[in-house]
Amino acid sequence: MQKVLLINEMDYEIPDIQGYMAGDEDYPVTDLGILRGKITKTGLPETKDPRILTSPLQRCRIAAEEMFDSACTEEELRDAHLGLWQGCGLDEIQEKWPKEYKEWLYNPVMLPPEAETFEHRARRLEDVLKRSLATHSGDLVVFTHSGIIVPFLSRLQQIPEDKMTSVKIPYGAVSQLEWDGSGFHVTENGEQVIPLLSDELEQLILDHYEVPEPERQRCRTIGKVAYDLADRLSETGLLLDADTVFRAAHLQSIGGTDQPGAETGSRILETMGYPDEAFAVLNHIDLFFRSIINEAVVLYLANRQVQGQDVLPFPEVFRRDRENPDETTEDRIAQDTVIINMVNTLYGEDLLPLS
């Protein structure tokens, strides 16, 4: 029995046009797409003597080359051609093909004029797989596109074309098949690889975004403070996840250390499949939920207490603020005081001493 892993394309850049139909046009993989490929590799099932095949389009080929030492390009693995609508946005399609556009709105599996059929897409993927399996005794790892994978999996599982939209294959998703010498058997429909945020995965992400070591050390200190605070507040019955705030602390600087950086880092984490950590990172600098003690508030408080590698009590934080005032100093001190009083009231003692 041979195993086949079908890996969907990674995140890639396309023109900023609503509903743009990229089809088999070639656009560069994004930096996030390359990171997704690295993360996908950490969660791949074990394979035996794998042969690596890839679509020639960059959103597959670059990821394959980043993840494996070598990959063989197969033209037949390229994305579907979308006929006359390829390279068009929805406004242009509506203007040039109004009748077809209306039909397509109510029937999303209706093909654009002169587009490649679903049957042809499925057949060319099947041909590549059978040809490769016939000449290789090990497993296959194949980088291609959801526009090819979905029709192929649907045909194998006898899903009719009008139900194919139920088969979701997101970026970096891995589908698993087994080949018994005469036919394919689907063992896993495409699932996005979202491994737990381990120390090793954190290191991979921090390396990818080139976070400098002093900042990593500072964030590790913040993580310890934040974890301890979240853990102790959880004793009061608050629904706080100490592990989430701990990991968010470590990764808070992947987009930068200011509010725009927090927004960038949050988008990265959200897109990679870590919404809880993304929420904490997004809101921990400019708090939007001041009346609720949550992971973002805990991360904010931990950041305020850590100056360099030192952990300060809040009277010392306030003293430093007053010695180095700016236009936000008084507002920040007032906000801190409200939040700290809330924390101490919930905990029943001076968990964060103000004096």
Weakest-pLDDT range from 18-22, 209-213, 245-249, 348-352: 348-352
Query: For residue 122, what pLDDT is reported?
Result: 96
Point out which residues pair with 287 in neighbouring strands.
Answer: none
pLDDT at 289: 55
Residue 142 or 164, more confident: 142
- Confidence (pLDDT) at 287: 78
Q: What is the pLDDT of residues 26-79, one digit of tens each?
A: 999 999 999 999 999 988 889 999 999 999 999 999 999 989 988 999 999 999
Residue 4: both structure tokens together: 């086949």
Is residue 53 within 8 Å of 130, Cβ to Cβ? no
Mean pLDDT of the chain: 92
Distance CA 3, CA 256 (A): 41
Mind listing the pLDDT tens digit for each residue in 194-218?
Answer: 888 999 999 999 999 999 999 999 9
Q: What is the pLDDT of residue 290?
A: 58
Instruction: Give, for 314, the enclosing helix (H) or strand (E).
Output: helix 314-323
3-state secondary structure of 187: strand
Which whole number is the average pLDDT over 157-165?
89
Which pLDDT belongs to residue 288? 66
Whole-number Å distance between alpha carbons of 111 and 164 = 13
Give the separation between CA 318 and CA 168, rounded to whole angstroms.
51
Residue 165 pLDDT > 90, yes or no? no
Q: Calculate ∠ Cα 193-194-198, nearest 5°.
A: 130
Reply yes or no on whether the pLDDT at 347 is more than 90. Answer: no
